[in-house]
Amino acid sequence: MAQAEMTETGNGGPGDRRTGPRVRSLLDRWSGDPGIWKRGLVLAGFAVLIALLMIFHAQIPNRIGNLGSLTETFLPWLGVFVPVILVVALVRRSATALIALLVPLIVWLNLFGGLLTGKSGASGGNLTVATHNVNADNPDPQGTAKQVAASGADVLALQELPGGQVSTYEEALAGTYKYHSVQGTVGLWSKYPMSDTRAVDIRLGWTRAMRSTVTTPAGEVAVFNAHMPSVRVKLNAGFTANQRDNSADALGEAIAREPIRRTVLLGDLNGTMNDRSLNAVTSQMRSTQGAAGDGFGFSWPAGFPMARIDQIMVKGVEPVSSWTLPRTDSDHLPIAARIKM
């Protein structure tokens, strides 16, 4: 009796007997169709083009509307075309397109596959840092401040602080952080003593970057807080980012001159780690998200995050974990990281 039941419901049962002929029928139709290699040539060419864009993105020139930087900002999203091409290739019954699809799939996995393995659950570390562009038009600055303070961060960096609301943020964070400093539109709050705090010139004419020495129980660490100029996509000018690029170069020079070996950069860089225009910074520091994050960690726009333009970067310390925090009333998501000094 048991054997009979296995025959009905397990391998070889009615369901399997129905599925088997369907698969064989599908394979027979494909194998007997001489057009499977001729159809979908344009689709196959498109698949190869996507792969080439990902492989040679660094060769896309920036001379015309900063097209290279624009492509690199949204580079992971080129992977969206893979399932689209797969569906169309199956509908078209194109073996050529299906084989060509392996090229962008392999390239994408090589570039971004490592981000798909969750690492944010790792334990350890002795310093938690967080950063948030609070948005100058934030309707609830006090609630936003308390929300990010609840993350447990030992050091918190805020950007886009309106002059008229600085006192609101200071009052909301006073119970959590004993030390703080606001320079221009950026501010640092710390549970540990801060010293040698000063503005950092990033060639804007006003202050949107600062640094401070934070003395933790594990030793000193230089903490930078920066808000790079915004970029825009315009039909008549392309990706306008020259001011941001110049500021990134100045920030990179300041970090390179920093005498303290252990350095952390927090802030809104208005660019991703793939964007070549941030090389002055990214070439000398590691992204905590890439090293110890869970997924892509997109932070902007908060309603439907498409790019990680808010960054936590380090050198001289070891990233342990990195994650995004719950949404506030800002148009950015706050992000946090745990590092080992």
Per-residue pLDDT tens over the stretch 72-114: 889 999 999 999 999 999 998 899 999 999 999 999 999 998 8
Q: Which of 116-120, 140-144, 231-235 has the highest mean pLDDT?
A: 140-144
Residue 152, Cβ density class (10 Å: 0-12 exposed, 13-18 middle, ≥19 buried): exposed
Q: Where are the beta strands (DSSP E) in the chain?
A: 127-133, 155-159, 179-183, 186-190, 194-199, 209-216, 219-227, 232-234, 238-240, 263-268, 286-287, 310-315, 318-324, 335-340
Per-residue pLDDT tens over the stretch 189-221: 999 999 999 999 999 999 999 999 999 999 999
Residue pair 200/251 in contact by the 8 Å Cβ criterion: yes
Q: What is the pLDDT of residue 119?
A: 62
Q: At 130, phi and psi to the nearest 5?
A: -145, 155
- Look at residue 183 and tell me if it is in a domain: yes
Q: What is the pLDDT of residue 285?
A: 97
- Look at residue 46 and tell me if it is in a domain: yes
Dihedral sign of CA atoms 21, 22, 28, 31 in order: negative
Where residue 8 falls among pLDDT bands split at 50, 70, 90? very low
Residue with tokens 């900063």: 66
d(CA 98, CA 82): 10
- Look at residue 19 and tell me if it is in a domain: no
**Residues 194 and 266 reside in one and the same domain:** yes
Cα 338 to Cα 120, 154, 314: the distances in Å are 9, 10, 11
Count the Cβ atoms, other than its own, within 10 Å of residue 290: 19
Query: Domain ends where: 116, 141, 164?
Result: 116
CA 281 to the chain's CA centroid: 15
Instruction: Give the residues across from 310 on adjacent strands.
Output: 268
**Residues 63 and 143 reside in one and the same domain:** no
Q: Range of 70's domain?
A: 33-116
- Whether 1 shows a pLDDT value over 90: the answer reads no
Domain count, the chain: 2
Q: What is the pLDDT of residue 3?
A: 46
Q: What is the pLDDT of residue 136?
A: 96
**Residues 93 and 146 reside in one and the same domain:** no
Residue type, 290: G
**What percentage of the chain carries pLDDT values higher than 70?**
87
d(CA 322, CA 295): 10
**Residues 111 and 174 reside in one and the same domain:** no
The b-or-e profile of 103-122 (16+ CB within 10 A means b, else e) is bbbebbeebbeebeeebbee
Query: Domain ends where: 116, 141, 172?
Result: 116
**Residues 76 and 216 reside in one and the same domain:** no
Query: Domain ends where: 46, 81, 116?
Result: 116
Instruction: Report the CATH number that the domain containing residue 153 is assigned in CATH.
Output: 3.60.10.10
Structure tokens at 204: 């804007």
Q: What is the pLDDT of residue 70?
A: 85
- Look at residue 3 and tell me if it is in a domain: no
**Residues 159 and 102 reside in one and the same domain:** no
d(CA 28, CA 43): 23
Q: Which residue has the higher pLDDT, 203 or 239?
A: 203
Residue type, 78: L
Average pLDDT of the chain to the nearest whole number = 89
